Amino acid sequence: MRTYRIATIPGDGIGKEVVPAGRRVLEAIAAGSTDFGFDFEDFDWGGDYYRKHGVMMPADGLDALRDKDAILFGSAGDPHIPDHVTLWGLRLKICQGFDQYANVRPTRILPGIDAPLKRCGPKDLDWVIVRENSEGEYSGVGGRAHQGHPIEVATDVSMMTRAGVERILRFAFRLAQSRPRKLLTVITKSNAQRHAMVMWDEIALQVSKAFPDVKWDKELVDAATARMVNRPATLDTIVATNLHADILSDLAAALAGSLGIAPTANLDPERRYPSMFEPIHGSAFDIMGKGLANPVGTFWSVVMMLEHLGERSAARQLMDAIERVTANPALHTGDLGGKATTVEVTDAVCAMLASNA
Ligand code: ATP
Ligand code: MG
């Protein structure tokens, strides 16, 4: 029997509610399997840790995670700590430390969800957004000078390397190739940003030669937002820079129903390090501690984790359980217009899994 070592990092806000829910679902899956199980280790990093130690995670934190098979992450964000401190001190430290350069965000309208896109007409969407996750606008390169003075200057350098752009585009073409429609849209802003974005377009053309069966096109990011609403069926796999894909994936999640449903995988496709799985939403302090958080985004992230671990049948089983739960409006949390609690939704998914086993 195989035992997967899983790190859980609830982090802040509703992360502390949805990550334990995700762990319960993993335990329910393990209970139904004779082939594999999980060995969990929980890490109390985040805002509370920062208040005690002055850092979001310990200096040797990455070493504690290095031998794990996967990481389940909640959220980093605290109303009393600046956002750039919480983000760079924890989540981005792990993403960059483990070179999780591919951030993958599938979006579909799940059964039973009253998605805003449906209100725009008889429309549907089935997308995977690939976000460059290691450089670009969030490279961290930049600085401030003459702080507080009228001549103050500040820069954030959007740094793109040929190697970084090439590897994410190759990943996106490969992913598009693995999906039924074999369709890829490469998103840039190469009309206005005339250096790095033009390099993206050039590299996309070069990489595309190795994928003759993938039909691909280019779109500017502003036009892409309109296309997502007006012609959603013309999109399938989408690849964009760190910033652009960050924005597009919130739009995608909202069109599909709620931020609370959407999942993310931060992948090291070469599998040198553990990959990290997390809901797309943040710490949502407005609803924390009330049992109102929708755990579906975390459960879907667990599906992606199982796929990454090679447990495809368990992944399918969990996705099926999630869809049967969303199909029932009595099991919708507040973000979906319902009254169900985090625990009720989790119980329902676990019960579905148990009845399948
Ligand atoms: P952060 O600063 O950590 O990104 P945030 O406060 O900006 O967090 P998000 O978590 O990104 O908030 O989400 C925005 C809003 O959407 C929240 O304030 C919350 O009301 C709602 N929301 C987000 N996730 C969920 C969820 N899982 N269940 C229910 N509502 C959610
Ligand atoms: Mg936010």
Percent of the chain with pLDDT over 70: 100
Nearest alpha carbon, ligand 1 atom 11: 282
Q: Identify any residues that bridge with 264 across adjacent strands, giving them in sequence order.
A: 278
Atom 1 of ligand 1 has which residue's CA nearest to it?
282
281 C-alpha to center of ligand 1: Å?
5
For residue 273, pLDDT beyond 80: yes
CB 218 within 8 A of CB 204: yes
pTM value is 0.95
Q: Please write the tens of the pLDDT for every residue from 88-118.
A: 899 999 999 999 999 999 999 999 999 999 8
Q: How confident is the model over 222-265, as pLDDT tens digits?
A: 999 999 999 999 999 999 999 999 999 999 999 999 999 999 99
Residue 356 has pLDDT above 80, yes or no: no
Cα 334 to ligand 1 centre (Å):
12
Neighbouring residues of 251: CB distance < 8 A, sequence distance ≥ 6:
225, 228
Q: CB within 6 Å of ligand 1 — which residues?
A: 14, 75, 77, 83, 259-260, 281-287, 293-294, 297, 333, 335
Ligand 1 atom at shortest distance from the alpha carbon of 76: 3
What is the C-alpha separation between 207 and 166, in angstroms, rounded?
Answer: 7
Residue 129's pLDDT band (cuts 50, 70, 90) = very high
Residues 6+ apart with CB under 8 A from 254: 116
Question: In terms of C-beta distances under 8 Å and separation of at least 24 residues, what long-range contacts does 23-27 make, across chains too?
Answer: 23/72, 24/346, 24/350, 25/299, 25/302, 25/318, 25/346, 25/349, 25/350, 25/353, 26/72, 26/302
- Output the pLDDT for position 357: 62
pLDDT tens digits for range 3-60: 999 999 999 999 999 999 999 999 999 999 999 999 999 999 999 999 999 999 999 9
Q: Which residue CA neighbors atom 10 of ligand 1 most closely?
A: 282
Residue 257 CA to ligand 2 centre (angstroms): 17
Residue 296 CA, ligand 2 centroid: distance in Å: 18
Share of the chain above pLDDT 90, in %: 95
Mean pLDDT of 65-69: 98
C-alpha span between 323 and 233 (Å, rounded) = 21
Show the 3-state SS of 64-76.
HHCCCCEEEEEEC
Neighbours of 53 (CB within 10 A): 12
Best of 73, 75, 88, 259 to mutate for ligand 1, by most ligand atoms within 8 A of CB? 259
Q: Which long-range contacts (CB under 8 A, 24 or more apart) does 192-197 make?
A: 193/158, 196/136, 196/158, 196/159, 196/160, 196/165, 197/241
